[in-house]
Structure 1
Amino acid sequence: MSVTTPEEHIPPTRTLDVTELGAAVAGPVLTPEDADYATELAGFNAAGTPAPAVVVGATSAADVAEAVRYARANGLRVGARATGHGAAIDGRGYLMVTTARMTEIHVDPAARTARVGAGVRWRDLAPATAPHGLTGLAGSSSSVGIVGYTLGGGLSPLGRQFGYAADRVRRIELVTADGIIRTVDAGAGSDLFWALLGGRDGCGVVTAIEFELLDLSTIYGGGVFFAGDAAEQVLHMWRDWAPTLPDTAGTSVAILRLPPDPTLPPPLQGQTAVHLRFTYTGDPAVGAQLLAPMMSAGPVLLQNVDVLPTAALDAVHMDPPGPLPSVERGCAIRDLPVEAVDAVLAVAGPQVASPLAIVEIRLLGGALAAPQGVPNAVTGRAAGYTVLAIGVPAGPLGEQAGAHVAAVNGAVAPWSAGGLLNFAGQTPAAELPTLWSAAEWSRLAEIRRRHDSTGMFSRLG
């Protein structure tokens, strides 16, 4: 997570000769003068456009190694980008490795494991695991890349029962600052393995991971959309109800400001709604009983709770499937008293004119509270909830998106318990170390210095 820009990695203004690099790698090598440069860098979050000096469209770990060696020889720092869901890397004078072409998938049904390349999204893996009744710990959207999601922790709607996705990783293949391809696990290179799982950035470019799969083909779950005017009642009922759930159930609640998009169900088009999300891995009849108390929380606009194949986990959160501009920031909180809910409603409730598309409160706890496999650097273990605000920097209030996102995070600051790295969003670089304990941050920083002494690697996008 080298989020600063060391001056030694900003070369003098000059034209870089990429001829030899282009001959050494199988994928494209592009500079800002090339016609395909912008297309190669396009990602899910359209709010920020990275501007590297060189882009390498890697097709393999060997391509990544060549790119890192070139960057080292030319005094460039290195970033990586798969789906572009994360914040754009700031600064100039760096080399970007795009990994979308690295789509290797190998599923071992007997061992219940999968090995995937750095460009694989959760939606790519599902067709290979579903026929065997298996699934990975995917997040709320299958358009997200598996590697970046997992290295940042990987919070799944099923996490309260099974932990973070990082808890299930067995091996990591990466290219380190010396341009060498390495494979690390909990035994060999365990300090690097620990730092990558939850620390995500600053040690190299990950090219593939191997992780355990779950023997789980279906769940009971989905969402209930309540009228926005009922936000106060729904959020306070949810605050009382959510902590009573068993670890086999997961839930979040979100205030949504939905666009007049004709692809949305008619009851939701152009509406402010409160979206209750719910998952349960046991008997559907028991799941319905667990959910029943919330069904009277307010007027229901739409509900889609049913038995779902795990490959259709997207139906729970119904996140936007395509690219859009956004600014976001999340934090973790210890507990959720009445005052915390009121604070969120005061700055983001339906009565506020706001560019916030989503303000979510998610229940944590259960298996998320401690590593479920090998030790790792995943943050937020002590938190009871996470709060996430996502604003759209477009439209009449677009310029205020960042301020409204900050207001939500500020409102719950009195109950702060750090945060989740994948939800950090626009958190200032100077504040990121506070996501870890002092001892964890010291260990993480020391491992990064040892494996990347000159700070070559930027955080992954």
Structure 2
Amino acid sequence: MSETSVVTDQQDPRPRLARATARFGALVERVRPGQLGRPTPCAEFDVQALVGHMVGVTRRIAHVGEGGAFADAPPSADDVRDGDWARAYREARERALAAWEDDAKLTEAVGVPWGTVPGSSALEGWTMEVVTHTWDLARALGLDGELEGEPEGTDGSDGAGVGGVGDAGAAELGAFALERARTVPREGRGGPVPFGEVREAPEGADAHTRLAAWLGRDPEWRPARGPVLTPDDEGYDEERTGFQAGDAHRPDRLVVAETAQDVQEAVTYARERGLPVAVQATGHGLSQASREGVLISTRRMTGIRVDPQARTAWVEAGVLAGDLVAETARHGLAPVNGSFPGVGVVSYTLGGGVGILGRRFGYTTDHVRRVDVVTADGRLRRVTAESDPELFRGLRGGAAHLGVVTGLELALVPVERIYGGMLIFDGAGVGGVGTAEDVVNAWRAWTETVPEEMASAVSLLPMPDVPGVPEPLRGRYLAQLHFAFTGSPEEGERLIAPLREVGPVLVDRVREMPYTECASVFSEPEAPHAYRSVNSLVDGRGLGPAEVRSLVKRTGPETPAMCVVGIRHMGGALARDPEVPDTVGHRGAAYLVGVLSPLGGTGEATVRELHAQALDAVGPHTVGRRMNFLYGPQEPETVRAAYEPEDLARLRALKEALDPADMFRFAPGPGLPGEGGTPLR
């Protein structure tokens, strides 16, 4: 490009450059590690190379503004460590904007690849490049619908400026960059002019797409969609198998979804052919395995976007709890997450979400601000309390039988550290004290004295006498106490101290810890395995000495199948109604009593009978069930018991209206009369 071909705008170009670079930076903030290898419309770059290129370009802009020669500026971003591209770009942008603060630089001549031009013209050219590469990156991430504030972004995010991408001036930036790009001659493309041949943009295309076409991009370019697999395809078995190893879907078609649009297309395909649809992120709570139809695997939908000012996070359908904890911790915040980091955030939340911070902050679903869901008609709905209060209520706690949720916006809480961990006792007792019964009784009495900042639980489990189990625990019947306290370590220790006196402590793992280590509070097994679980919510009298004695006797090491008992202290914020109504019922329960058994060589009938007998110990005091922790096929009445009668009626009405053909018949939720399942995580 020659100097004479440059159109110089009389307006100060710096505010426009600031907006353009801010928009590109907002996209970089949203790039997840698993997306760095994705291709982009700029054929020479994948996502990582494109972002690295722009870090280098922005550093060059700064270098020239500081008085250096363009050719002498570092050309790459090889020094970026640990893949922290967002920080590298942010620092380069701040440096570049500061370097051009002096008005005199706008009229000074600077050397750039297209000639020697006034500083203002150089900034205009760089603005065009930034806007163009913003389209490249947005298209690669499936976010181009947000570039000009359009209402339908393909990732299920706001089209009106989420993350600073589609703000009010975005369309003007696209129009400016297009006008500036039209000064690039058609001749010499691919040679002296570093762009491809001009292409035709689709009729009605926005300015960003027309800009891309003028500079040689394919305006119809889209990232390759996730594959569609059949039982004969390589990768089918691996993709269909989840954490619940006792069951696995075996559908006719398996859609590996990467975007909300993939989900829409899969649902539309199934609807047009009258096929049922199942959905799986991690497969922790698989209720009913599909043997036909379409399975949508959402495990690759791993986008996370944190807004630290608003204290919210947007998560896609495949995001794991541990990944969300790690991402929010960078901003001094935390989600109201569960005990296991490998569980999917979306599906866990849909079932209610009994988090380890629950007594302080309530159920996870109480913190939902928006839900994006593809319903049986193939429509992507953005659901809030204002847009559709009835569906918003039903989705929050009603599990997944109303559609395929592609993303959630969650409010975060200001928690960076907790005082907690585990105390482990020999449940057989030592010297006649510290038995499992003693531990549970002492803990239950203790729970009546603690503030809501203290969340706790007790678990009872027999440990096998096999290599791999730590020596102090091998072959023992363990009684474990779990704690998560959001107050000071000193106050936490004062509160927990009396429980250390229940009996000899085998293992003491209680300490102050960063919230990123909260999984150590329960230390649940990470390996996939086959299991079944049910639970009962009980009132304040449900764990009296007689009930505890009966429960321990029915679940101890002498039972015909291994049985793990888990009892969580409810109350506190879990007992309060949310600001916006949802379908999490039985909030007055004092404790959640769950029993879980690995299947292994044990028959399903044996496990079901064992669980029924165990929960009979607290039967007279049972007030309901909780959707989370119902693992495996359940009787319809068990699932319905998770809801208050009014909410059950609302959910059935929504099901009739949104999915009358019961397309999502394999999904959890109360469904239609005679239907139902358990949370699909």
With structure 2 as the length reference, what TM-score do the two structures score? 0.62
Matched residue, 2:293: 94
How far apart are 1:32 and its partner, in Å?
Answer: 2.0
Give the 5 Å matches for 1:11-410.
Answer: 26-229=225-428, 230-260=435-465, 263-335=468-540, 336-350=543-557, 352-395=558-601, 400-410=606-616
Contact 1:107 1:115 in 2 (8 A): yes
Q: Which amino acid aligns with 2:659?
A: D
Mapped pair 1:432 → 2:639? yes
**Separation in 1, partners of 2:507, 2:560:** 23
Which amino acid is 1:333 matched to? V
Question: Matched residues in 2 for 1:454 and 1:348: separation?
Answer: 41
Q: How far did residue 80 of structure 1 move? A: 0.7
The Cα of 1:89 is off from its aligned counterpart by: 2.3
Provide structure 2 residue ranges, at least 5 long, that are not aligned to the other structure.
1-221, 429-434, 669-679
Q: CA deviation at 1:90?
A: 3.7
Distance in 1 between residues matched to 2:582 and 2:508, nearest whole Å = 37
Over residues 125-154 of structure 1, what are the superposed CA-to-partner deviations in whole Å (9 max), with x where a residue is unaligned?
Answer: 222111211110111111110000001001
Q: Kindly indicate which of the two structures has a greater share of residues assigned to strand.
A: 1
Q: Whole-Å Cα distance in 2 between the matches of residues 87 and 407 of structure 1?
A: 23
Aligned-pair identity in percent equals 38
Q: Give the corresponding residue for 1:416.
A: 622
Residues 272 and 166 (structure 1), Cα distance of their counterparts in 2 relative to 1, 3 Å cut: same
- Relative to structure 2, which stretch is displaced further, 131-140 or 24-33? 24-33
Equivalent residues of 1:326, 1:392 under 8 A apart: yes
Q: Distance in 1 between matches of 2:288 and 2:239?
A: 15
Q: Structure 1: how far apart are the matches of 2:358 and 2:551?
A: 24
RMSD: 1.9
Relative to structure 2, which stretch is displaced further, 24-33 or 301-310?
Answer: 24-33
User: Are the structure 2 counterparts of residues 91 and 113 from structure 1 closer, same or farther at C-alpha, using a change threshold of 3 Å?
Assistant: closer
CA–CA distance in structure 2, aligned partners of residues 145 and 380 of structure 1: 24
Q: What is the CA–CA distance in structure 2 between the aligned matches of 1:302 and 1:399, rounded to whole Å?
A: 35
Conserved 8 A contact 1:221-1:307: yes
Match of 2:369, SS state, is strand
How big is the shift at 1:271? Answer: 2.5
The answer to whether the 8 A contact 2:555-2:564 is kept is no
Please tell me the residue identity of whatever aligns with 1:78: V
Q: Distance in 1 between matches of 2:469 and 2:484?
A: 22
- CA deviation after TM superposition for structure 1 residue 369, in Å: 1.0
- CA distance in structure 1 between the partners assigned to 2:585 and 2:648 by the alignment: 10
Tell me the CA shift for residue 265 of structure 1. Answer: 3.5
Structure with larger RCO (C-alpha < 8 A, sep 6+): 1
Paired residue for 1:20?
A: none
Cα deviations by residue, 1:21-48 (Å, 9 ceiling, x for unpaired)? xx99811212222232211111111111
Letter of the structure 1 residue corresponding to residue 462 of structure 2: R
Give the aligned residue type for 2:450: L
Question: How far apart, in 1, do the equivalents of 2:233 and 2:585 lie?
Answer: 40
Q: Aligned partners of 1:88, 1:36: CA distance in 2, in Å? A: 23
Deviation at 1:309, TM superposition (A): 1.1
Cα displacement (A) at 1:258: 2.4
SS state at 1:402 partner: helix
Q: Distance in 2 between matches of 1:446 and 1:396?
A: 39
- Paired residues of 2:347 and 2:400 also in contact (CA < 8 A): no
Please give the secondary structure, in 2, of the residue aligned with 1:362.
strand
Return the offset for 1:397.
7.8
Change (3 A) 1:242 1:171: same
**Greater Cα offset, 179-188 or 80-89:** 80-89
CA distance in 2, matches of 1:183, 1:329: 33
Question: 2:263 and 2:353 mapped to 1: Cα distance?
Answer: 24
* TM-aligned CA deviation for residue 91 of structure 1: 4.9
Provide the secondary structure at the position in 1 that maps to 2:330.
helix
CA distance in structure 2 between the aligned counterparts of 1:381 and 1:55, rounded to whole angstroms: 38
